[in-house]
Amino acid sequence: MPKIRLRGKQAAAALGVLVALSLLGGCGHSRQEVLDALHVELPPCEPKVHSFDYEDGWWPPGSLQTHYTAPKACVDDYLRGYGVDLEHPVDNWPGERWSVGGRHHEPGDPPFADSQMKQFRLKLDPSRTYPIHSFKTPYGSEFRVLLDEQGDTTRVYMDTSFGGPHML
C-alpha cells in the first residue's frame, strides 16, 4: 500500500481508520476518488505506483503528489492526451539562475519542495537534464511533471500546482 501522509489533528485522528480500511487520501476517499475530484487519470497502461500522497486532509483535495513508472510510449501518449508538447518542456532540471522579488533560484535547486523530494526519494544526477512539463485538465486542475527517462521506461514525478474548482 502506498504511503499515506495526512496533516492536522483531525487527519491524524483519522489515520488509524484509513489504514484499517486500506484507503488512500483524506476523509476516507480512495485513490480513484482523489483522481476523479482533480479530473485527472493515471496512464491506462497500469503504471507501477511508487507513491501517491494526498495532502491537506480536507475534501476536495488541495494537493496531490504521485510518483510512478510506466513504459515510455504510454507516458508519452498520456501526456500528449493532456496537450503536453514533449519537444518543448516548460522547464528543465538543472534549471536557470534567476531572482524575482527577493526570491533566488540556483540551477541545482531542487525541482520540488524538500518534503516532496523526500517522499519521492528523488535523487537527480546533475550531469543529466530532466524535462519538466505542465498541463491543465479541462476542469482547471494544474499539474507539474518531471520525467526521468530510463530506456523504454519513464519515471514520472507529478504534483498539483493548482487543484482546480472541483466540480464534483
pLDDT digit string, tens, across residues 147-163: 999 999 999 999 886 65
pLDDT recorded at residue 82? 94
In sequence order, what are the beta bridge partners of 157? 67, 146
pLDDT recorded at residue 144? 92
Using the predicted structure, report yes or no on whether residue 47 has a pLDDT greater than 90.
yes
Q: How confident is the model at residue 28 (pLDDT cuts 50, 70, 90)?
A: low
Using DSSP's 3-state secondary structure scheme, residue 80 falls into helix
52-92 per-position pLDDT tens digit: 887 765 555 567 889 999 999 999 999 999 999 999 999 99
Q: Check residue 136 and give left, alpha or beta (phi > 0: left; psi -120 to 50: alpha).
A: beta
Using the predicted structure, report yes or no on whether residue 1 has a pLDDT greater than 60.
no
pTM of the entire structure? 0.74
> pLDDT exceeding 70 applies to what percent of the chain?
74
Using DSSP's 3-state secondary structure scheme, residue 132 falls into strand
